[in-house]
Structure 1
């Protein structure tokens, strides 16, 4: 039986915590690769363990991560993601400048992380094992939709992605699924 993903529906206060590029990267690593320590995350992300430790405490205080009490000891704390998905619902965010600034920072960091992942894939795709080399897709479509149609498309895309969620199995790779649905006001 496929377990439904655990969602963290972010409010205005927790948005200000997650709207930091390093915290987003750390949470992503914990979700994709499982529990880790501040030292392990520091080595993986090219940061100091003091920096990752401080950001881990911020994430924990906001409920994004939790201590993995089955691992480690008094000197070594292990952390794991508390949810599978972070969901920011834009129409629930207050219109005040501070919240909108945090929301903009969050979205920009999300786009930057997506760009990093896609660029890394393009640069290293030739190194993939043969079965993985020709199954990826990078596409975009330009469509004419109403706001209601765009909302419906987003719901349906999320439903499709959730149908494929499951625990890792032998032969799996971590696969990044990026979806960007937004009105495009330029001509290009």
Structure 2
């Protein structure tokens, strides 16, 4: 069966933030995005969770507009779910005026960072050919910037990444004879204050 194309992005609002700010839901959504449609049982087995608990979290993600049931797959007893969006946009200023929303935003950020770390850790545990080991990178840069400079740097990086994403989208089968794989590029940028 053909994969359903996900919309590019959904922007969080207070309601959807409340529905996503849970580590297990972030993990479920990542699996549905990267691995395609799945059932509650499949996800429960992969994540070591109870399938009833998994079904509840799937319904919460659906209620808040992150996933939907694939009615063309499965049976009445076996429901398949798929992600509706490739990315989630967060305008942090939307959530900073209310204490509850700031807390939920912090929970969401921690879950996303944990997921990013898990992905990077999985890569280091896998056996990739030499050319992929050499092409991959893990590192960091340290700058002295103002908040507006950091925002400008982030904007420039996003433009660059969107250009590379569009390049592949224009011709998804192009490989120039090379081994082509899905690649995840993760970055974080934040002010750093050493612990005293």
Q: TM-score, normalised by structure 2?
A: 0.85
Match of 1:106 in 2: 108
**1:63-78, aligned counterparts within 5 Å?**
63-78=65-80
Match of 2:162 in 1: 162
* Superposition deviation, residue 149 in structure 1: 1.5
In the alignment, is the contact (CA less than 8 A) between 2:6 and 2:86 conserved in 1? no
Among 32, 50, 75, the alignment partner of 1:30 is 32
Is 1:184 paired with 2:192? yes
User: Which structure ranks higher in relative contact order (CA pairs < 8 Å, sequence separation ≥ 6)?
Assistant: 1
* Superposition deviation, residue 94 in structure 1: 4.3
Q: Which moved more, 1:4-13 or 1:42-51?
A: 4-13
Runs of at least 5 residues in structure 2 that lack an aligned partner in the other structure? none
Among 84, 87, 112, the alignment partner of 2:86 is 84
Q: Which moved more, 1:177-186 or 1:99-108?
A: 177-186
* Superposition deviation, residue 187 in structure 1: 7.7
* Superposition deviation, residue 146 in structure 1: 1.8
Secondary structure of residue in 1 paired with 2:88: strand
Q: TM-score, normalised by structure 1?
A: 0.88
What is the root-mean-square deviation of aligned Cα atoms in Å? 2.3
Among 168, 182, 191, the alignment partner of 1:174 is 182
Runs of at least 5 residues in structure 1 that lack an aligned partner in the other structure? none
Report the CA distance shift for 1:86/1:76 in structure 2 as closer, same or farther (over 3 A). Answer: same
Number of residue pairs aligned between Structure 1 and Structure 2:
184
In the alignment, is the contact (CA less than 8 A) between 2:6 and 2:84 conserved in 1? no
